[in-house]
Structure 1
Amino acid sequence: MQILAKRLKELREERRIYQRELAEILGMSFRGYQNYETGQSEPKLATLIVLADYYQVSIDYLAGRTDAPDFQAVKTEE
């Protein structure tokens, strides 16, 4: 999933964070995180949630299902 790799890299670079720093935040190896940004592997759901929370974006944005990075409030009808 190349869009995920691209967005992870863009978000990290926007915040001027090194891959090694982010790997430490996630509690994983540098190489493991690097593989996410190169598209060689994909994060598990739990890691996607942590990344989405860290960057304050939706998982749908990370996965390329939407181009709107912000969470959109879902209005429930009663």
Structure 2
Amino acid sequence: MKFHERLRELRVERKETQVQVARAIEITDRQYQRFEAGENLPGFENLWALADHFNVSMDYLTGRTDIR
């Protein structure tokens, strides 16, 4: 599974909006939208923040494993 697909899956699973996730990890709404659309990839700090927010490993978030 690709990063942007996994990101969307996790957000929908938690019933959060893109705006809610963006604000939770302190980035702009548009920046988050680009991550989820597959237009941009997050830097290390944002990737770490997303993994923490969704309570998953960075390997799971990036699609390297299916083990959360």
Q: Structure 1 length as normaliser, TM-score? A: 0.82
Question: Identity rate of aligned residues, in percent?
Answer: 41
Greater radius of gyration (CA): 1
CA distance in 1, matches of 2:35, 2:43: 10
Offset, 1:53: 1.0
Q: Where in structure 2 are there 5+ consecutive unaligned residues?
A: none
Root-mean-square deviation over aligned CA pairs? 1.1
Pairing of 1:1-78 with structure 2 (within 5 A): 3-69=2-68
Runs of 4+ in structure 1 deviating by more than 3 angstroms, as ranges, are none
Q: What SS does the aligned partner of 2:52 have?
A: helix
* Count of aligned pairs: 68
Q: Structure 2 length as normaliser, TM-score? A: 0.93
